[in-house]
Structure 1
Amino acid sequence: MRRSRGLTAALVLSLAGAGAGLGVVLTPQASAVTPPVAFTADTLPTWQPDGIVWALAQANGTVFAGGTFSKVRPPEGGSGAEQDAVNFVALDAATGAPTNCALSFTIGEGTATVRALVVSKDGKTLYAGGYFGAVNGTPVSSVAAIDIASCTPKAAFHPGFPATVRGLAVSDDTLYAAGDFNAVDGQTRERFAAVDATTGAVKPFVAHADEPGRAVELTPDGKNVLLGGDFFTVNGKNTHALAVVDATTGAVAKTYTNIPSNSVVKDIATDATGFYTANEGSGGGVFDGRIGLNLTDFSEKWRDRCLGATQSVLPYDGVLYSSSHAHDCSTELEFPDGKRHHLLAQPTDHKGVAPAPVDGFVRGPRKLGWFPDTNDGLGEGIGPRVMEVAPKDGTAYMWVGGEFTTVNGAPQQALTRFASTGDVGAPTTPSASAAAVKPGEVQVRWRTSFDLDDSRLTYRIYRNGAATPVATVEAESLEWERPQASWTDTTVKAGQSYSYRVTATDAAGNTSALSAAASVTVPTSVVPYPNQVRADGAQLYWRYDDTSSPYVADSSAGNTSGVQVGAPALRQAPGAVTGTSTAMGFNGTSQQVHSDRRQTVGSSYTLETWFKTGTSRGGKLIGFGDNTTRNSVSYDKQIYMTNTGRLAFGVYSGGYKVVTTGLFDTYNDNKWHHVVATQGPAGMALYVDGQNKGTLNVTTSAAYAGYWHVGGDNLANWPNRPTSNFFAGQLDETAVYPTALTQAQVQNHFALAKAPVDTVTEVNATEDTYVNQGAPSTAYGTSTSLAVRGTSAYETYLRFALPAAPAGQVLKSASLQVKTSTQAGAGTVDTVSVVPVTGTWSGAGTTFATKPTLGTTPLGSLAGVPDGSAVHNVDLDTATVAAALGTSYSVALTSTGSDPLWLWSSEASAAEGTPQLVLTFGPK
């Protein structure tokens, strides 16, 4: 239907005509995107027809578009007046505006349409096919030849096609056609034909098909023709939807019988080593995706079985671009049934050894990070119909035509284009989280960002508001797979608080906004419960301490984060584990969390979660399923609650295999309970609150790729199915392990959850001020800044309402946290001391002349503070602070040097600017 892209002689000629070198063909400028993708996803201003574009071709920097439309208008917000364009328009590849070439394709009765366009190898002639009877008044019969230089139809070329022509391909001297016809110029030619490229005379090529032809393409060596369509036979030989025939005679060289009978081939394209089909179908068992085949023997390399009516394929520089409305790529281990993706890209070949066949087919190469999108649009609601690459002035442009009416969410009809340079879209802002379960270590985690044309992004982690990142991490992500990335900070000090922010940057340097700050206080001793969960090998550990939607952080080494659905309630307190965590609340009707990437589950695993509920409608606590936001079709490896409050652990292994708690073992009593389910070589086991509640000698479960779900998913047909698929209540500390935990490990987790742990209290300053020797009578109690210097002197005073130690606990550490302001030179090279205030003072009344008396023994000190607004911690003498617990306590910041330190006060509006004490309490 269209000639091969990227390496053809015609493209070389068109580049030469545009003054560009061959290098643009082989290595398009793509420095702004993640290779091997060659185009940005940023749509460019393009004039738009008022109907549907079915065909595209290009030559010498001009793009030709054919279809079913009557006018063309400027892009939204563009200048210019609407113009007549009867089923055809020529546009400048670089500007997207119409050229002065105007052709009108008409017919006496019915609706004229242009369905196929192709340019001769010398770049001088444009061939058009479709259903029309005249071009600019010159009589033709559904096929026409246009002289590109003069933009006029060639009257000498006049073959007679009595029905719609849907595909065209051209060699040096022959034009091949596919369509609905049964004859050409009175000679029998059923659905495929060849005519002389100059005169239109019918050639002896015969490839009779029993159903319409939709695509025709020459192999690069010119020896064979690739046929695509609806047919079941060609020249009497059984071959459905695809065939290879001799280019001279039409004799069948290769047949295909493994394309489902309810699927057709809509398009064929080639490159130097292979050819590719676009397939569409309807009904059960449909094949809607793409096939990659070898040119050497025409055998199949791979088959991408994504569902979604593929309309067009375009190989370019090692990447196969496709247009469709792909909505389910489960067979490819990619996105499940759901959102439609209208433009996709994937390598033309697997890198290295291809994967083993599944269901008799090798999966297609994994999708690349290129996600411009359209809507379904007019007509059949298919979206994009055709693609073409047009180079001009050193830039390659990807043109897309179809029946869409929006592109990337903005109004744009039937035509759009993307360039090989000029990426301006920044990635989405990361969602960050920070946690610490042992001294000297903070795990910073974030949900990776999404960028329309960059799959590998660079993340920078900033600590305590500093301008320079403390770490840089690269990570991959796709629109439907945004796995957690993480970095561990091992330079932190026990008892001190830290905050982290993360940005994402693409290959062009476009950078997201800073994430919201994720704050954490480093414990002075190991936190028992979460530390043990990690030590026992959890590969998913959701603690539900998240502060925003939709990210659920994973505290394990598996980086299997979650995505919230339906906005469950965050940070419900108290959580299940003493002193360390909050829970997540679920409404029992629509809320859940699913893991962020598809995976498979081995023969051994453990499910663990804490729950609290009073529901009488049951619901799923945790389970595995093959979809995300929609009901899963395959679902097992699950713990669910019945309407009466009993717990069930079930797998599917030739039937429903379920372990259930006893008739009177019910747990909908609004108390926290611990449930663990294991399966492995010893079979299935269910534990509640550390006790074994039942076993079953079943060692297998259903094998499929899917996602972990918490709070809901399908439960249809399962024994004692509850009224609701969704769980109403609170969940906490959910973990999944790749092994079966022992009963001793389960009991240890239950016991550790109630063990005493350290608690951290952050106490903001209730009052602060500073005094200035240079203005001895001035009070600075309402200033947004605080200052410290020896000469001439500044002193800062801070007051805190210290809490009493929790019952049974003592103060284990104390630190003062302050933040330097944003003014130039806010840091200091001098040592700043923190000393007790023994005299009285107030923010409103204290001046240098009335400053209070200070203690002589420092509580702690900072040996210099670098410039730049950032948070700094000062370790304080624990015994001194402990003696003041339960009182109002004041400290002063002093220095003996001449370099001032400027800090934010509690009156400042800057985030994280308020001075505070961080107090860590723990068991005696």
Structure 2
Amino acid sequence: MFSTLRISSILGLLLGCALSLFPVQNSWAENNTGPIDNPIGGVTADVLPTAQVNGVVWDQAIVGNTVYVAGEFSSARPAGAELGEQEVHRNNLMSYNLITGEMTNWTPTVNGRIRAISASPDGKRIYIGGSFNWVNGQPRSRLAAFDTKNGELVKDFSPAVGSDVLAIAATNDKVYLGGWFTSINGVPRQRLAALSASGEILSWGPSANYPVRALAISENKDRIIVAGGFTELNGESSQAIGLLDAVTGTSYPFAASGIFTNHGVDAGLGSLKIFGNQVITTGYAAGRGDFEGVASIDISTGRIDNLIDCQGNAHDATVLNNIIYVVSNSNYCAHTGNRTKKDIGYQTSAFTLKPLTKIAKREKGKYHNWEGYPTGAIVNWWNDFQSGYASGKTGWTVES
């Protein structure tokens, strides 16, 4: 059995790591801080040949064997080619084959940054959101849709979003949006909205007082998890994360919304991934906030079941075979008991989804003390990244 885990780096590389399933082993022992060798369903750190771009990749979406890549770039080139060699035009959006790493001949043109890309569950559509206003020479105000069968821009989907779109989550017949906007099609919507597949604004209209940067739909489709830099949802206190009804937009009690203090323009929770009854989120705290790391949260209650607290902003995470894979700017995880590699080089890291120990008291006083929270053990999975020239970070997005 073979699959892939894809990491997008702002080096302009889309790095792939070969997945190899290890033999089933006994359950990991409690109070095990790692590093753990050969975990069940572990991923090797072997680099796969993958297309490259000359800028930043902010987000990815996988449909079948096609990886759709969105960000800020103007050209792409084959695996192994140096910058400036064998380059072809690709304007902020491209795709490549998941198995071979080769670019497809899909060449849409988008005139601005794309911050979010999401596929409908049936794989028939790709939605993109960002700060652009033209796509393939047609007016599109910060949101657009493509037909994956022919790669063409969907003509009858052209809503007017008042400001930047930062997050998208789609079903087969509707699409949920989060971002900076305060109106869509002239209708007030405070940073959250839902549209039909034809672009009509729906009645779903909860509000957030600061930007929404991530959205996720629960597996049974009745709940929407939202994350970002806000401190209020629907006029009530909700710090950085919250739980909403997928039909009415009503807020539900969610324990985690009272735990993290990340908020504002430069701090918050920046990604969400669903894994069964868990939602995986990542934290960044360049401004006001206390959490830099990854948390696995029970969707029904908001209980934090696993908290990976590493010093340095975490950008994205995914789960594959009960392992959490993380891309981040982290460089110190010793207080979790994960003291390896001289506490450097955590820019790509892996931890057990199952918590195996508890966080110890922090040794470095200026950071928040998450002592006592359950935490997973680190896995022997190391990748060497060079910081990218575009924004000085290593990786922004990881998909499996």
Does TM-score exceed 0.5, indicating one fold?
Answer: yes
Look up the SS of the partner of 2:115 in the other structure.
strand
1:361 offset after TM fit, Å? 4.3
Q: Is the 8 A contact 1:37 1:369 kept in 2?
A: no
Shift of 1:91: 0.5
Tell me which residue corresponds to 2:297: 293
Contact kept in structure 1, 2:312 and 2:329, CA below 8 Å: yes
Aligned to 1:681: none
Among 69, 75, 78, which residue is 1:74 paired with?
A: 78
- The answer on 1:312 being equivalent to 2:316 is yes
Instruction: Specify the code of the residue in structure 2 equivalent to 1:326.
Output: S
The one-letter amino acid paired with 1:171 is T
Are 2:258 and 1:257 aligned?
Answer: yes
Query: Could you tell me how far 1:213 is from its partner in structure 2?
Result: 0.8
1:59 is aligned to: 63
SS of equivalent residue, structure 2 residue 324? strand
Q: Distance in 1 between matches of 2:100 and 2:262?
A: 43
Q: Does 1:88 align with 2:96?
A: no
The correspondence of residues 746-895 of structure 1 with structure 2, limited to 5 A, is: none
1:246 maps to which residue? 245
Superposed CA deviations along residues 812-856 of structure 1, whole A, max 9, x for unmatched, are xxxxxxxxxxxxxxxxxxxxxxxxxxxxxxxxxxxxxxxxxxxxx
The residue that corresponds to 1:303 in the other structure is 307
CA gap of 1:356–1:67, structure 2 versus 1, over 3 A, is: closer
SS at match of 2:43: coil
SS in 2 for 1:366: strand
**C-alpha deviation, 1:226, in angstroms:** 0.5
Aligned partner of residue 331 in structure 1, secondary structure: helix
Contact 1:305 1:363 in 2 (8 A): no
Distance 1:66 1:103, change over 3 A: same
Q: Does 1:347 align with 2:352?
A: yes
For 2:360 and 2:346, the matched residues in 1 are separated by 25
How far has the Cα of 1:382 moved from its partner?
2.4
Q: Distance in 2 between matches of 1:245 and 1:212?
A: 16
Structure 1 residue 77 displacement after superposition: 4.8
> What is the match of residue 97 of structure 1?
102
What SS does the aligned partner of 1:344 have?
A: strand
Cα drift, residue 119 of structure 1: 0.9
Q: Is the 8 A contact 2:146 2:152 kept in 1?
A: yes
Alpha-carbon deviations, 1:447-486, whole Å to 9, x = none? xxxxxxxxxxxxxxxxxxxxxxxxxxxxxxxxxxxxxxxx
Q: How many residues align?
A: 355
Question: What is the correspondence of 1:182-201 to structure 2 with a 5 Å cutoff?
Answer: 182-196=182-196, 198-201=197-200
Question: Does residue 184 of structure 2 align to residue 221 of structure 1?
Answer: no
What is the alpha-carbon distance in structure 2 between the residues aligned to residue 59 and residue 385 of structure 1?
Answer: 20
Separation (CA, whole Å) in 2 of partners of 1:386 and 1:295: 22
Identity, % of aligned positions: 24
User: Which residue number corresponds to residue 129 of structure 1?
Assistant: 129
Alignment of 1:494-513 (within 5 A): none
**Residues 302, 361 of structure 1: 8 Å contact kept:** no
Q: Flag structure 1 segments of 5+ consecutive residues without an equivalent.
A: 1-5, 7-27, 107-111, 390-924
Q: Using the alignment, how far apart are the partners of 1:97 and 1:323 within structure 2?
A: 23
Equivalent residue letter for 2:212: G
Please state how far the C-alpha of 1:261 moved relative to its aligned partner: 3.9
Distance in 1, matches of 2:93 and 2:262, equals 34
Q: 1:39 offset after TM fit, Å?
A: 2.2
Q: Check whether the contact 1:349–1:365 (CA below 8 A) recurs between aligned residues.
A: yes
Alpha-carbon distance between aligned partners in 2 of 1:228 and 1:328, rounded to the nearest angstrom: 24
- Report SS of the residue matched to 2:155: coil
Matches within 5 A, 1:450-849: none
1:371 alignment partner in structure 2: 382
Q: Which amino acid aligns with 1:376?
A: S
The whole-number CA distance in structure 2 between the counterparts of 1:283 and 1:338 is 24
What is the CA–CA distance in structure 1 between the aligned matches of 2:329 and 2:347, rounded to whole Å?
4
Secondary structure of 2:354's aligned partner = coil
State the Cα distance separating 1:249 from its structure 2 match.
1.3
- SS of equivalent residue, structure 1 residue 350: strand
Residue-by-residue CA offset, 1:196-244 (whole Å, 9 max, x unaligned): 1x21111111221111110011111111100000001011010111011
Q: Distance in 2 between matches of 1:356 and 1:117?
A: 34
Tell me if structure 1 keeps the 8 A contact 2:78–2:103: no
Structure 1 counterpart SS, 2:258:
coil
8 Å CA contact 1:268, 1:276 repeated in 2? yes
Deviations 1:69-118 (A, max 9, x none): 00001223589831000001110111111111111111xxxxx1111111
For 1:339, give the aligned amino acid: I
Aligned to 1:45: 49
Alpha-carbon distance between aligned partners in 2 of 1:275 and 1:254, rounded to the nearest angstrom: 15
Could you say if the C-alpha distance between residues 261 and 125 of structure 1 is closer, same or farther in structure 2, counting changes exceeding 3 Å? Answer: closer
**Hey, what's the Cα distance between the residues in 1 that align with 2:208 and 2:122?**
31
Q: Which residue of 2 aligns with 1:385?
A: 396
Check the 8 A contact 2:72/2:113 in 1, yes or no. yes
Q: Which residue of 1 aligns with 2:11?
A: none
Flag the 1:285–1:178 CA change in 2: closer, same or farther, 3 A.
closer
Based on CA coordinates, which of the two structures has the bigger radius of gyration? 1
Q: Which residue of 1 aligns with 2:143?
A: 143
**Cα–Cα, structure 1 residues 224 and 151, in superposed 2: closer, same or farther, change >3 Å?**
same
Task: State the distance in 1 between where 2:157 and 2:247 align.
Answer: 20
Unaligned 5+ residue runs, structure 2? Answer: 4-18, 24-36, 362-369
Report if the CA contact (8 A) 2:348-2:383 is conserved: yes
Looking at structure 2, the residues matched to 356 and 54 of structure 1 have their Cα atoms a distance apart, in angstroms, of: 31
Q: What is the 5 A alignment of 1:899-910?
A: none
1:285–1:152 distance in 2 versus 1, CA, 3 Å:
closer
2:236 corresponding residue in structure 1 = 237
> What amino acid is aligned across from residue 75 of structure 1 in structure 2?
A
Kept after mapping to 1: 8 A contact 2:268/2:289: no
Deviation at 1:363, TM superposition (A): 3.4
Q: CA 1:280–1:72 in 2, change beyond 3 Å: closer, same or farther?
A: same
User: Aligned to 1:280, which of 284, 301, 310?
Assistant: 284
Mapped to 1, the partners of 2:262 and 2:81 lie a distance apart of 46
Question: Residue 326 of structure 2: SS of its match in structure 1?
Answer: strand
Give 1:360 deviation, angstroms. 5.6
Matched to 2:181, the amino acid is F
Cα offsets for 1:707-729 (capped at 9, x unmatched): xxxxxxxxxxxxxxxxxxxxxxx
Structure 2 partner of 1:362: 373
How far apart in 2 are the matches of 1:145 and 1:201? 13
Q: Output one character per residue of 1:234-284: Cα deviation in whole Å (capped at 9) or x when no partner.
A: 110101110111111111113412102454101011111311111000369
Tell me what 1:210 maps to: 209
CA–CA distance in structure 1, aligned partners of residues 287 and 63 of structure 2: 40
| Alignment partners' CA distance in 2, 1:72 and 1:34 | 35
Alpha-carbon distance in structure 2 between the residues aligned to 1:99 and 1:217: 28
- Seen in structure 2, the aligned counterparts of structure 1 residues 367 and 338 have a Cα distance that, compared at 3 Å, is closer
Q: How many angstroms apart in 2 are the aligned matches of 1:202 and 1:280?
A: 31
CA RMSD after TM alignment: 2.3
Q: CA deviation at 1:376?
A: 2.4
**Which residue identity is paired with 1:348?**
L
Q: 1:40 aligns to what SS in structure 2?
A: strand
| 8 Å Cα contact 2:262/2:288 also seen in 1 | no
